[in-house]
């Protein structure tokens, strides 16, 4: 009986403690999809303060709010890679990333690879190796290769193929893209 009594007292104290912990605090604010929030985004080393709706993608904010149109919308659902940007040096689809997720992170777009009007090493290699036809996928392809080279400076051909596997080229310029990636890797390691 003593054990049962101690257990009952313990259970009732635990229940009282649980009730005390669940006292309501200030109400949680839930934003409507059309409310705006102020974000601070670091894009290509420049800080931007923008008002965005929580549902806006990073792609939309880059193109429509900030005016950086090098990042392209292809499919709008994370299948083609045309919208690839780097977030903290990791390739990400901007169409699948909410702008609010990118706050406090370092975002690099195709424009951020240039120094003034001079192309970056990956961009130069794409130009020299004719690694594009229509060119629509090219910014995403370049960003995928740039992200790969930041992680793996001297990638094998299999690593290059894997690195750009999330980026589609409807024109089929893959052989040229792989050569451009190899050339850019050699240039960046010199």
Domain ranges of the chain: 30-110, 114-190
Query: How confident is the prediction along the chain (190 residues), in pLDDT tens digits per residue?
Result: 455 555 444 444 444 444 445 566 677 767 676 789 999 999 999 999 999 999 999 999 999 999 999 999 999 999 999 999 999 999 999 999 999 999 999 999 999 999 999 999 999 999 999 999 999 999 999 999 999 999 999 999 999 999 999 999 999 999 999 999 999 999 988 7
Q: Tell me the CATH number for domain 30-110.
A: 3.10.20.30
Q: Among 154, 147, 139, which Cα is nearest to 189's?
A: 154
Compute how many other C-beta atoms are within 10 angstroms of the C-beta atom of residue 167.
25
The residues facing 48 across adjacent strands are 41
Find the radius of gyration of the CA atoms of the chain: 24
Q: Among 107, 102, 101, 33, which Cα is nearest to 68's?
A: 107
Q: Tell me the CATH number for domain 114-190.
A: 1.10.150.120
């Amino acid at each position: 009986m003593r054990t049962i009594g101690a257990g009952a007292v313990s259970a009732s104290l635990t229940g009282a403690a649980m009730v005390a912990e669940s006292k309501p605090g200030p109400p949680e604010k839930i934003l409507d999809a059309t409310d705006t929030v102020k974000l601070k985004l670091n894009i290509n080393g420049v800080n931007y303060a923008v008002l965005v709706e929580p549902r806006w993608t990073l792609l939309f904010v880059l193109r429509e709010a900030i005016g950086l149109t090098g990042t392209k919308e292809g499919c709008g659902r994370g299948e083609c890679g045309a919208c690839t940007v780097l977030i903290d040096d990791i390739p990400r689809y901007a169409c699948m990333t909410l702008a609010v997720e990118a706050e406090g992170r370092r975002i690099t777009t195709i424009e951020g690879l240039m120094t003034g009007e001079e192309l970056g090493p990956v961009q130069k290699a794409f130009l020299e190796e004719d690694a594009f036809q229509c060119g629509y996928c090219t910014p995403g392809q370049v960003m995928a290769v740039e992200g790969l080279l930041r992680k793996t400076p001297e990638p094998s051909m299999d690593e290059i193929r894997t690195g750009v596997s999330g980026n589609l080229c409807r024109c089929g310029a893959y052989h040229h893209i792989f050569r451009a990636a190899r050339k850019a890797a050699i240039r960046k390691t010199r």
